[in-house]
Structure 1
Amino acid sequence: MDTAAVERFRELLRIPTVSHTDPAASDAAPFARFRDTLRRLYPLLHAELEGELVGEHAMLYRWRGHAPDAPLVLMAHCDVVPVVPDEWTHPPFDAVLTGEGEEATIHARGAIDDKGSLVAILEAVEALVGEGWRPARDVYLAFGHDEEVAGLGAPAIVDLLRERGVRPALVLDEGGAVVSGAVPGVDSETAMIGVAERGVMTLGLTAREAGGHASTPPPLPATARLARAIDRLQRHPAPVRLVPPVRAMFRTLAPFAREPFRSVFLNLAVTGGLLARVLPRFGAETNALVRTTAVVTELSGADGENVLATTARAAVNIRLLTGDSVTEATERARRAIADPLIEIDVRHGSDPSPVSPWRGEGWRRIATAVGSALGTDVVPTPYLQLGASDSRWFTAICENVYRFAPFRLTASERDALHAHDERIRVDVWLRGIGFYRDLLRLS
């Protein structure tokens, strides 16, 4: 175990860089402390690379190579989602280390999402600078500070790079991981490299009425009208289909699948429709691969238990499948609800990202680093990222944008993201450093 690297990681995990949807609830002090700690822990990097603050707390570093064109951009974000401490087995910002050997595990908010990648990148760069190594072409480190709230840090970095005429050859952000058993019929370890990500939007649903005392309710009060609208949405999900990144994933994994999955994956021209209809039965992740999903995440009604709500509201979080759009999803919701007295408004939304190629130089570099650092038996495959990331902003200046975190994650470890007991195994994290080192050497 590289004890020094692990202790640096734990120190940074202890800084509660929590981002909130309400800017007034955010505390700037931890972000300033995080930057100060980076300068102390990584002195060689800060001596060699040119660093600047972008926006409020986003960080951009430039590592000058032998040539400035076609640079590599390594992305991560330092902010984390809020916690409910009582739900955690270990305090979420203590970075508790448990176990020994292969079972050694760090428990902390941000251990995977996304300080795991951020600190692994820093460790790789610090080591290479210490060796006197210099990249063939420029390398940028782009660290956002408000990714978890779809904020302004990453867009500001992209705007700055565009103004300076920077056109990256390759951008790599957080995303899929090294997993096994995530694709039906495939037992091999797979490196799920996101070539695209779904769009994200929120619809607001509002029902209104005159109000009054709860002892004399009308036939269809605002809360009941809203509940009916939500039920109709639930009973009319978006249609299923196989989009190009998902088709590419199944074709790539077909040789490693057991029967009958192998035959199904090899003959998608015939079996694609059936596969799309069956995949939702395998769980939430495979359902999200084949359809635009919608779920109600917030509800509000009256202020008192004996008062009729004059306004009942719901927030619907929608994740758009490749090829879908904010406009289409809004109209689909309007048709499903079929109630002109339900007000529907788009609070915010962005369409799905463009699809990056799963062939060519950029893809080859990532796949090569997967093999050298994580194992030649790991199968790199294109993947449709289900969540949104800061990388979507970089598609405006780069055609080769990928989403991959070089960590072996179990299903329970993936489930802990944005939930309690987030954690990462030490040996898994250390191997991730090796991936970034190898990828940088290929730049």
Structure 2
Amino acid sequence: MGGPTTHASAIERLQALIRIPTVSYADRDLIDPKPFEEFAEQLERNYPLLHQHLEKTIVRDHGMLFHWKGTAATRPVVLMAHIDVVPVEETDTWQHPAFGAEIHDGVLWGRGTLDDKGCLAGICEAVERLLGQGFTPEQDIWLSFGCDEEVMGQAAPAAVEILRERGVSPWFVLDEGGAVAYDAFPGVKPPLAVIGVTEKGITNVQLSVEGRGGHASMPTRMDTTARLARAILRLDSNPFPSSVPPPTIEMFRRIADHLPGPLRPILGPVLKNTDKLKPVLARALVAAGNESAAMTRTTTVVTTLSGSPANNVIASKATAGVNVRIMTGDTVAGVVERIASVINDDQVHVDVVESNEPSPLSPTDDDAFRLIEATINQTHPDAVPTPYVMMGATDSRFFTAICARVYRFAPFRMSKAQRESIHSFDERIGVDDWLEGVDFYQRLIEGIA
């Protein structure tokens, strides 16, 4: 798959992209377009064959859609990634500069190494390598690179519309999301190559209470802030019911044979029959901690609060922002109805600010999923491929409108500490792990038939 010189050049190309601060903001006025323009120029310098042989369409200012014509177009494939990254906070204590792209002890440090320039550069590197070999894919391949994924922007929906207008119905779509994850499940030593087959819907709700307000020297019982606080406590004390969706059941079936020796004869049969023990498994996951509990249900958390502008003024309006991650099987309407029911106070208004339904379940008993599995087995033979429910949101959720097989998997080995660095500080990727990911993309493209 290429010698040391090729690998060194590939890493340099990734470093060049990491050094460009393509930061996106929800407030478009804060976005500096120059880094995005510089990124596009650097991408063309990095991958000249890609730009020479693939048709490029600009999407929403800085997004990109590339079309690689194959020998057939009956089952086109979309490979996705995004250009933008989240801001670097001044209080973050990075060991190495966030946009320095420095390599220390075989590890490349920088914002975007995992989320998501590692995937973008990996895809481009694989395409460039194959073009250099004179390779033509057996099916059309589309590369969709969004520019505002981190702020739930409009580039991905715009790319979907372009594909729809061109009559493209993808066989499958592959975006970021899962990873070759170490320490993903207690006691399981092999890394789990988790492939997202659905993702929770993200909805933001505002709770608000209005009143007369007044001077803080003459407080009244159950004023705006007290009523809002009671509503928040009721919501916090009444979590959504837990359940075990099909991807989680399949995940436990697959890890059953990889439990430590002493536990395997005890827990193995249980995990292989989780479909018959759903209530027990759901309770166990809830008891195991917040991360596993989130795998079983819709979650709500208050993320913003506002009230009076001064310490001596009773708020005339108090608000709380609630971030809701909606589990597959639930709906925005049903979730909002339950929130209002749990709060049980007509004076607390529940308003939907932004809503997204959970993504449909993509099939696992399917040739597309089996191709991804087989490719993982080739490039990461020690890993256990398994479907799972993604907690976060990706641009790929928009592609479910034109494709029934939407998967989320970044082909990189990640420790728990690395996964925690995403959207935080000290984001980094192993150099060899990234090169392994490039091999994954190359083999995947070669295997598309």
| TM-score, normalisation: structure 1 | 0.96
Following superposition of structure 1 onto structure 2, how do residues 247-326 of structure 1 map, counting pairs within 5 Å?
247-257=249-259, 258-259=263-264, 260-326=266-332
Paired residue type of 1:235: S
Aligned to 1:92: 98
Conserved? CA contact 2:184–2:191, under 8 Å: no
Following superposition of structure 1 onto structure 2, how do residues 172-251 of structure 1 map, counting pairs within 5 Å?
172-251=174-253
Conserved? CA contact 1:211–1:308, under 8 Å: yes
State the shift of 1:220 in Å: 2.0
Q: Say which SS state the counterpart of residue 113 (structure 1) adopts.
A: coil
Conserved? CA contact 1:197–1:387, under 8 Å: yes
Aligned to 1:338: 344
State the shift of 1:4 in Å: 1.5
Q: C-alpha separation between the residues in 1 aligned to 2:227 and 2:88?
A: 33
Q: Say which SS state the counterpart of residue 262 (structure 1) adopts.
A: helix
Cα deviation, 1:195-241, whole Å, max 9, x if unaligned, reads: 11111101011111212222222222222221111111110000000
Following superposition of structure 1 onto structure 2, how do residues 150-165 of structure 1 map, counting pairs within 5 Å?
150-165=152-167
Q: Which runs of 5+ in 2 are unaligned?
A: none
Q: Say which SS state the counterpart of residue 92 (structure 1) adopts.
A: coil
Conserved? CA contact 1:353–1:392, under 8 Å: yes
Q: Which runs of 5+ in 1 are unaligned?
A: none
Paired residue type of 1:212: G
Conserved? CA contact 1:85–1:92, under 8 Å: no
1:356 lines up with 2:374 in the alignment? no
Paired residue type of 2:70: G
Aligned to 2:406: 401
Aligned to 1:137: 139
State the shift of 1:294 in Å: 0.8
Q: Say which SS state the counterpart of residue 294 (structure 2) adopts.
A: helix
Following superposition of structure 1 onto structure 2, how do residues 376-415 of structure 1 map, counting pairs within 5 Å?
377-415=382-420
Q: C-alpha separation between the residues in 2 aligned to 1:374 and 1:267?
A: 27
State the shift of 1:185 in Å: 4.4
Aligned to 1:374: 380
Paired residue type of 1:410: S
State the shift of 1:284 in Å: 2.6
Aligned to 1:113: 115
Cα deviation, 1:249-279, whole Å, max 9, x if unaligned, reads: 1122222234333122122243221110111
1:421 lines up with 2:423 in the alignment? no
CA RMSD between the two structures: 1.4
Q: C-alpha separation between the residues in 1 aligned to 2:268 and 2:92?
A: 41
Q: C-alpha separation between the residues in 1 aligned to 2:406 and 2:301?
A: 28
Q: Say which SS state the counterpart of residue 205 (structure 1) adopts.
A: strand
Cα deviation, 1:287-329, whole Å, max 9, x if unaligned, reads: 1110111111111112222222211111111111110010111
Paired residue type of 1:327: A
Q: C-alpha separation between the residues in 1 aligned to 2:222 and 2:87?
A: 37
Q: C-alpha separation between the residues in 2 aligned to 1:214 and 1:427?
A: 62
Paired residue type of 2:436: R
Q: In the comparison of the two structures, how many residue pairs are matched? A: 438
Q: Say which SS state the counterpart of residue 20 (structure 2) adopts.
A: coil
Conserved? CA contact 2:81–2:146, under 8 Å: yes
State the shift of 1:382 in Å: 1.0
Paired residue type of 1:404: F
- Give the one of 139, 148, 151 matched to 2:150: 148
Paired residue type of 1:246: T
State the shift of 1:96 in Å: 2.4
